[in-house]
Structures are given as structure tokens and as C-alpha cells.
Amino acid sequence: MGRIKKVGGRIIATVLSLAMFAGLAAVLPIRAEAANKPPAANGNVLQRIEQLRNTFDGGYFTVPGQSCSLASGHSAGWTDSAGKYYAGIAYSSCSNCKLSNIMNNMGYSMPSGMIDAWTCVSFARFAFWYIFGLPYNATGGYSSGAPTGCTKLLDINQAVPGDLVVFTTNGTSGHQGIFLSKGSGNNINIFDCNGGAVTTVSEVKYNRSREFKGGFIIHANNYDTINGSTTTPTLPTTSANIANGKYTIAGLTSGKVLTPTYNVASGNNVFIYPVNYEENGVPVIDKQWELTRLSDNTYKVISVYRNQALDVAGAGTEDGVNVQVANWTDNAAQHWYIVDCGNGWYKFVAKHSGKVLDVANDGTSDFTNIQQVTDTSSNAQRFKLVSVPSPTPGAFTVSVSNPSSLTDDKPVTFTWTISSGAQRYDVFFDGA
């Protein structure tokens, strides 16, 4: 039947008793309420996020535990995806989704310095405080500083689970949520409230996909302390004996290969995508990675197309940090132990963190993101290396159809024997 909340428990119990007395076969929806206080925060960042999820996901972050559009008519300033505007009680006049009221209803005192908020901002600030113990005390958009004990980041590729994401429009702060992971394209997955339809104002949803067009990220400076990442990582002693050269890197589950963003202007992200080939059977250049063994027995892994290194964004050490391509700087976040896992599969271990290369959620869809996480020996962390054949150099005789009838501006047909592994031919006229 679900959980019966402490607040309002007598009313719910009475309704159930009347329903049973009347012989009604009714199923009453029991949803998480703000009064359903989460347990004392404990464990690492992901465990604390899970505690919030178990408490609030699918419910409403409000005092009465129901949608503000139903409880108070609160929907002022709301514009849906079709551009329709909804009017109602101004959110700043709504007591049901006001952070201080919600926290008081749960039995918390408003943390010193915490700036009050409503709807999505109230949940984001509460969740961030719950995870890291840091009250959000900064206002404004891009021009403001970070809250005390935090760092403001502008690159979404640097976000890690637990960070507070502020979506902005023209430099003005808008929707907020807790970062979970990167999605496809510009989408990110967040834990938020008030991100759905107007009839579900302040509904809490875990793993909601939302496009990130602009904004910033608030990162807690005590992240490693909370996450237990202060110890020196345990690293492999060496790498497998892999010959220097060009390879494709394919995930075990999907068979798709690591691919950098093709258009440099679109960013530096790395994702999985089906391998495609030139006519001669050689993988196209953006699917190729050049491996070079270094003196510390790690490998640098360079995108042949981008001429940039496989890199852990910001040299982050936490689970979920994005993997990208970046200019080679020889830092430890670009050094990879490649460890033989048997049966032709390998894992890539980042030297700076001890975390492994991972296909997010063991996904198989095109553009599924690549990240670093703790090694769990899952299929999402296993990759196959396939050597790219080298072109065979040499000169080849080119035959021209009807050479005696050649005139300017007329089509010319060339034929020649294809060289094994060749990807490009340069044809020159020798003047004969």
C-alpha cells in the first residue's frame, strides 16, 4: 500500500478505514512529502543522493506534499514548452514551496546564511546543503561569486554528480538542479523539482534530462572529503604490452567505438558511435586513436582526427567526471594504464585517480557518454583494441581514357589499382 506519512497520518488512516468499511477497492496514491524527512546524511556523495532519491523522488517538495498548482494555484511566470504562459499566485508569495517553510516542516532549522528560495531553487539548495553541509549564500547569475566553500565552474564537462547546476538565460539565473551525469548532445541528467508540466509544479524527479544551453556549476570544495577520495589511489604496476600504433577502441556491450566530437566548435566530448570505414576497409580517421607507451608504463591516447589526448576533465578524481579530448600537456589525467582483462578485453585506468574508463550506464545508444568511475569489473569498463592497418606507400601508374582526344575543360577518367590500406591518393601530371 506504500508508506503512510507521519504528518497527516490520522487523516489518511481515517480515509482508509472508511474505504474498507464501505467495501471500496480503492488504491490511494501515497507520494513523498516534504515532511517525510530524509535520514541523517551519511556515506559518499552518490549514497547521499540516493538517500534523497528514496525520500523525495516522485513526490512534491512542498509543505502540503502536493503540487503547488493544485494546493495554491501557484504557477505565476510559468511558460510551457509550447510557449504558453500560465498566471496565478506569484511564487514569491507562495508559502507552500518556500524553502524555509519546508525545512521547518521537516524539523530543520534554516542554515545560517542560506538564502531563501522557492520551487526548483528551494529543492536544489536543500539537496546541495544535505549532501555537502554548505548553505547557498550567493545571489545573481554570472556576475556573482560562488557560495562560501564552493567553486563556480562554467564548463559543463567539469560537472560531477552532486554539483548544483544553474541554467541561465541571458545571464539571468533560471532553473536549478543537482547534476547526475551527461546525456547525449547538450543534454544533462539532473535531480530536480518543478521541471515538468504546469499541473505538477514542485514535483521531484530523479534523472530528468534537460538541455544545457548556458549557465554555471557550483562545486563543493569539500567534495573529496565527503566522497572519501582523499587517499592515494591504488594503481596497476604496469600496462599490457601493446604495440605503439593506431587503434579503434570498442566497448564490450555495444561494440561501438570511442569517438570525439567531430566539430571542434561543438566541444571536446568523447562518446560511443558505430565504426565506419573508408572504401578500402580502414576505419575513418575520427574513429582512430594513436597509442604510445610512456616511460611510466602508461599510454598516451591521442585522437588521430583531433590531435588531442584522451583526458579526464579538470583532472577530477570523483566518479562520474567527464572524459574528453584536450591538448596534450603530459599531466597524469592524460596517462592511462591499459590492463589486460582476458579474452581480448582491456580496461583503461587513469593514473591521477585510479578510476577506469566507463560507458555511462553501460549504454548502447549512439552518443552515450564516456566518463571515469570506480572499477567494478563491469562490461561498461571493458574495451577491445583493433589495430588500424597502415597504408602501403608507393607510386602507381595511372591510365587515362582516350588521351589523344584530351582538351581543356573536358572530363577525364582515371583508373588505377587500389593500394592496400591507402586512404588518399595524390595524382600529378608529369608533363609527358
- Average pLDDT on 256-267 reads 85
As a whole number, the mean pLDDT across the chain is 79
- 72 or 354, which is more confident? 354
Buried b / exposed e across 118-145, counting CB within 10 Å, b at 16+? bbbbbbbbbbbbbbbebbbbeeebeeee
Give CA–CA dist 18/21, Å, rounded: 5
**Which pLDDT score is estimated for 317?**
83
Interstrand relation of 308-312 and 299-303 (parallel, antiparallel or unpaired): antiparallel
DSSP SS3 for 404: helix
User: Over the stretch 395-429, which tens digit does the pLDDT of each residue have?
Assistant: 555 555 555 555 665 666 666 555 554 545 555 55
**Which pLDDT score is estimated for 337?**
97
Furthest C-alpha separation in the chain = 105
Most confident region among 155-159, 310-314, 341-345, 399-403 by mean pLDDT: 341-345
User: How many helices (DSSP H) and strands (DSSP E) are in the chain?
Assistant: 6, 22
**Which pLDDT score is estimated for 142?**
56
Most confident region among 37-46, 77-86, 99-108, 388-397 by mean pLDDT: 99-108
**Which pLDDT score is estimated for 299?**
97
**Which pLDDT score is estimated for 203?**
87
Q: Can you say whether the dihedral through the CA atoms of 220, 226, 231, 237 is positive or negative?
A: negative
- Average pLDDT on 68-94 reads 58
pLDDT value at 250 more than 60: yes
User: Over the stretch 5-44, which tens digit does the pLDDT of each residue have?
Assistant: 333 333 333 332 323 223 323 333 333 444 478 888 888 8
**Which pLDDT score is estimated for 278?**
84
Question: What kind and span of H or E run contains 251?
Answer: strand 245-251
Burial, 393: exposed, middle or buried (Cβ in 10 Å; 0-12, 13-18, 19+)? exposed
For domain 38-227, the CATH class is alpha beta
- Average pLDDT on 67-80 reads 58
- Residue in 388, 385, 424 with CA at minimum distance from that of residue 282: 388
- 236 or 158, which is more confident? 236
For residue 127, what is the DSSP state?
Answer: H
**Which pLDDT score is estimated for 47?**
86
Average the pLDDT over each of 147-161, 253-267, 394-408 and give the range with the smallest value.
Answer: 394-408
Question: Bridge-partner residues for 273, per DSSP?
Answer: 257
pLDDT value at 75 more than 70: no
- Residue in 306, 317, 327, 314 with CA at minimum distance from that of residue 258: 306
pLDDT value at 342 more than 70: yes
- Residue in 373, 96, 58 with CA at minimum distance from that of residue 233: 373
pLDDT value at 3 more than 80: no
- In this prediction, what percent of the chain has a pLDDT beyond 90? 41
**Which pLDDT score is estimated for 11?**
31
- Average pLDDT on 232-246 reads 91
Q: From the CA atom positions of the chain, what is the Rg in Å?
A: 28
- Average pLDDT on 268-294 reads 92
In single-letter form, the type of residue at position 398 comes to: V
- DSSP letter for each residue of 295-309: TTS-EEEEETTTTEE
**Which pLDDT score is estimated for 16?**
29
- In this prediction, what percent of the chain has a pLDDT beyond 70? 72
- Average pLDDT on 300-327 reads 91
Average the pLDDT over each of 77-91, 275-289, 334-348, 398-412 and give the range with the smallest value.
Answer: 77-91
- 75 or 307, which is more confident? 307
pLDDT value at 164 more than 80: yes
User: Over the stretch 360-401, which tens digit does the pLDDT of each residue have?
Assistant: 999 999 999 999 999 999 999 999 999 998 765 555 555 555
- If pLDDT is split at 50, 70 and 90, which confidence band does 246 have? very high
- DSSP letter for each residue of 268-333: -BEEEE---B-TTSPBPGGG-EEEEE-TTS-EEEEETTTTEEEEEGGG--STTEEEEEE-----GG
Q: Which sequence spans correspond to the domains of the chain?
A: 1-30, 38-227, 245-387
Is the CATH number 2.80.10.50 carried by domain 245-387? yes
**Which pLDDT score is estimated for 183?**
79
pLDDT value at 199 more than 70: no
Give CA–CA dist 128/343, Å, rounded: 43
Residue linked to cell 551527461: 182
**Which pLDDT score is estimated for 5?**
32
